[in-house]
């Protein structure tokens, strides 16, 4: 029996040690991502970032970059055997580093069937993530939480703010094209400005499938950061005096469940007629609304809890697992990081500018802080708006107005995503 080498026993350390000599960028990237994952986990636990996403995502990110091992017969990223790769004329080294979590590039049918029996998250990735099903499940759950009565009570104010809050979605597209991305890739990263993760997943699957993994990872990473970053943007752009501005008393009639159902059905059918490419997401969202308003307690409990939080958990975990150093350190990811951050920043500024527009239009009676809620990270940005106001004026309530803008922002982002896909989806 040959003597046992310490590094052969502890392969995670072995791949890291060898990486420092063969590919230092990846090795240092692994170390950085391990600590970044732990940091995201900590910030999620402390409530600085969105815990529902950041706790599983952070732990997944740290683990996938720690648990790298050598494969001697199969390419861990594609599932192809070394024999098949050599038969295809590819040069294959004696060993390839990889993980036992997921193979995002597996396409060949035989290889995919093989990898489905090896990588524990591959079934969820293949049958739920890469086809957008998990995004539809999340939207169904979100729909059960949406009270469209907030939009119906203030339709014009909500719509104005939602349009302003798509500023990043509109402006980042030409910037991304100028930075060398294809129109489809540019549209996919621009949709990050809507702060709606399922929409980013949907758009990138349609228009930029080779980059949909890094685009989606970047999108959800920054969606988590909106929870920690937007309060500073509010403080920068809105003085305390205006943040403390109470909303005037208004007569708002009660919107009945039947009226909400009519709105949901009409909006779903009409928007699907106009933008059939987005029909799966639109149906998912408004189906959730219909379940909420139809007095179906068993369905409501299923989708508002089990489906929503189960999908969110596996979505966060998969996003963390996909943050493997080889994926994240792709040079194009730096562009995506910059553009994603820029899109959310511009959209946040746009929403606040919309708040200021309504402030002056109302004769200085409208609290401009509500504008940030139109960036459709439901319900995070609405809560951020209310918390920013409560910090300076605990008795001022703007949440009903913020939720109206928030929900309208979801619908507006769906429309923008559908327009991009309809215009840029390859024909034929």
* 266-283 tens-digit pLDDT: 999 999 999 898 899 899
Looking at the domain assignment, is residue 201 inside a domain? Answer: yes
Tell me the average pLDDT across 225-240. Answer: 87
pLDDT of 209 over the 70 cut: yes
Q: What angle do CA 356, 403, 361 make, to 5 degrees?
A: 25
Percent of the chain scored above 70 by pLDDT?
97
Residues 189 and 304 in one domain: yes
d(C-alpha 369, C-alpha 321), whole Å: 36
Place of tokens 């993980």: 99
d(C-alpha 425, C-alpha 272), whole Å: 17
Q: 3-class SS at 279?
A: helix
pTM recorded for the entire structure = 0.88
Task: Quote the crossing angle between the two packed helices 380-390 and 399-424, to the nearest 10°.
Answer: 150
d(C-alpha 386, C-alpha 244), whole Å: 11
- φ, ψ for residue 69, nearest 5 deg: -135, 175
Looking at the domain assignment, is residue 136 inside a domain? Answer: no
Residues 210 and 358 in one domain: yes
Which long-range contacts link 121-125 to residues 24+ away (Cβ below 8 Å)? 121/317, 121/318, 121/321, 124/314, 124/318, 125/318
Residues 274 and 324 in one domain: yes
Residues 115 and 28 in one domain: yes
Selected residue with higher pLDDT from 213 and 225? 213
- CB 172, CB 342: distance < 8 Å: yes
d(C-alpha 54, C-alpha 38), whole Å: 10
- CB 402, CB 254: distance < 8 Å: no
Q: Which pLDDT does position 277 carry in this prediction?
A: 84
| Joined tokens for residue 52 | 């529902």
Residues 344 and 241 in one domain: yes
Looking at the domain assignment, is residue 387 inside a domain? Answer: yes
126: which DSSP letter? I
Residues 266 and 290 in one domain: yes
Identify the band that residue 152 occupies on the pLDDT scale cut at 50, 70 and 90: very high
d(C-alpha 117, C-alpha 126), whole Å: 12
pLDDT digits (tens, 9 = 90+) for 37-46: 999 999 889 9
Sign of CA dihedral 284, 289, 292, 296: negative
d(C-alpha 233, C-alpha 316), whole Å: 26
* Max Cα-Cα span within the chain: 86
Residues 173 and 304 in one domain: yes
pLDDT digits (tens, 9 = 90+) for 77-101: 888 888 888 888 888 888 899 999 9
Looking at the domain assignment, is residue 137 inside a domain? Answer: no
Q: E strands along 81-212, which residues?
A: 96-98
| Joined tokens for residue 178 | 């100028």
Q: Please identify, among 71, 95, 129, the residue that sits at the C-terminal boundary of a domain.
A: 129
Exposure string for 124-152, b = 16+ CB within 10 A, e = fewer: bbbebbbebebbbbbbbbbbbbbbbbbbb
Tell me the average pLDDT of the chain: 90
Q: Which pLDDT does position 428 carry in this prediction?
A: 54
Tell me the average pLDDT across 251-264. Answer: 90
Looking at the structure of the chain, the number of domains it has is: 2
Looking at the domain assignment, is residue 135 inside a domain? Answer: no
Q: Please identify, among 75, 105, 129, the residue that sits at the C-terminal boundary of a domain.
A: 129
Residues 177 and 288 in one domain: yes
pLDDT digits (tens, 9 = 90+) for 154-174: 999 999 999 999 999 999 999
Residues 295 and 352 in one domain: yes
Q: Please identify, among 75, 99, 129, the residue that sits at the C-terminal boundary of a domain.
A: 129
Q: Which pLDDT does position 252 carry in this prediction?
A: 72
Residues 147 and 106 in one domain: no
pLDDT of 2 over the 60 cut: no
Q: What share of the chain is helix, strand, coil (3-state, %, to 5)?
A: 75, 0, 25
Q: What angle do CA 261, 376, 61 make, to 5 degrees?
A: 120
- CB 395, CB 245: distance < 8 Å: no
- CB 59, CB 41: distance < 8 Å: yes
Looking at the domain assignment, is residue 1 inside a domain? Answer: no
Peptide bond into 252 cis (omega under 30): no
- CB 186, CB 169: distance < 8 Å: no
| CA neighbor of 195 nearest in space, from 349, 333, 330, 366 | 349
Peptide bond into 106 cis (omega under 30): no
Which residues span the domain enclosing 188? 142-424
What value does the CA radius of gyration of the chain take, rounded to a whole number of Å? 23
Residues 51 and 100 in one domain: yes
Residues 95 and 204 in one domain: no
pLDDT digits (tens, 9 = 90+) for 355-381: 999 999 999 999 999 999 999 888 889
Looking at the domain assignment, is residue 192 inside a domain? Answer: yes
- CB 132, CB 205: distance < 8 Å: yes
Identify the band that residue 8 occupies on the pLDDT scale cut at 50, 70 and 90: confident
Q: Which pLDDT does position 375 carry in this prediction?
A: 92
């Amino acid at each position: 029996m040959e003597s046992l080498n310490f590094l052969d026993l502890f392969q995670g350390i072995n791949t890291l040690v060898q990486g420092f000599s063969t590919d230092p960028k990846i090795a240092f990237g692994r170390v950085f991502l391990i600590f970044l994952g732990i940091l995201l986990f900590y910030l999620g636990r402390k409530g600085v970032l969105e815990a529902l996403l950041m706790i599983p995502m952070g732990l997944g990110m740290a683990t996938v970059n720690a648990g790298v091992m050598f494969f001697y017969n199969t390419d861990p990223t594609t599932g192809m055997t070394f024999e098949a790769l050599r038969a295809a004329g590819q040069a294959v080294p004696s060993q390839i580093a990889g993980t036992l979590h997921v193979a995002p590039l597996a396409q060949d049918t035989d290889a995919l069937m093989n990898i489905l029996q090896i990588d524990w998250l591959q079934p969820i990735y293949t049958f739920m993530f890469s086809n957008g099903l998990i995004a539809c499940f999340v939207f169904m759950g979100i729909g059960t939480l949406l009270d469209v009565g907030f939009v119906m009570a203030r339709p014009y104010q909500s719509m104005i703010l939602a349009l302003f809050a798509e500023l990043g979605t509109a402006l980042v597209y030409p910037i991304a094209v100028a930075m060398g991305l294809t129109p489809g890739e540019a549209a996919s990263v621009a949709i990050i400005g809507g702060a709606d993760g399922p929409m980013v997943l949907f758009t990138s699957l349609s228009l930029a499938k080779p980059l949909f993994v890094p685009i989606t990872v970047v999108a959800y990473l920054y969606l988590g950061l909106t929870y920690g970053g937007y309060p500073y943007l509010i403080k920068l752009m809105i003085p305390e005096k205006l943040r403390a501005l109470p909303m005037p008393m208004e007569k708002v009639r009660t919107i009945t469940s039947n009226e909400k159902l009519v709105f949901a059905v009409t909006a779903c059918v009409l928007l699907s007629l106009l933008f059939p490419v987005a029909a799966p997401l639109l149906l998912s969202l408004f189906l959730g609304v219909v379940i909420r308003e139809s007095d179906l307690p068993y369905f409501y409990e299923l989708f508002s809890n089990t489906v929503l939080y189960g999908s969110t958990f596996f979505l966060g975990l998969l996003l963390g697992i996909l943050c493997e150093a080889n994926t994240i350190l792709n040079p194009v990811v730096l562009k995506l990081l910059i553009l994603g951050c820029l899109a959310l920043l511009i959209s946040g500024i746009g929403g606040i500018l919309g708040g200021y527009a309504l402030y002056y239009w109302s004769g200085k009676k409208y609290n401009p802080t509500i504008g940030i809620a139109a960036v459709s990270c439901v319900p995070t940005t609405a809560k951020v708006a209310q918390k920013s106001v409560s910090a300076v004026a605990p008795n001022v309530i703007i949440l009903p107005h913020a939720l109206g803008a928030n929900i309208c922002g979801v619908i507006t982002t769906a429309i923008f995503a559908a327009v991009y896909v309809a215009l840029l989806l390859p024909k034929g």
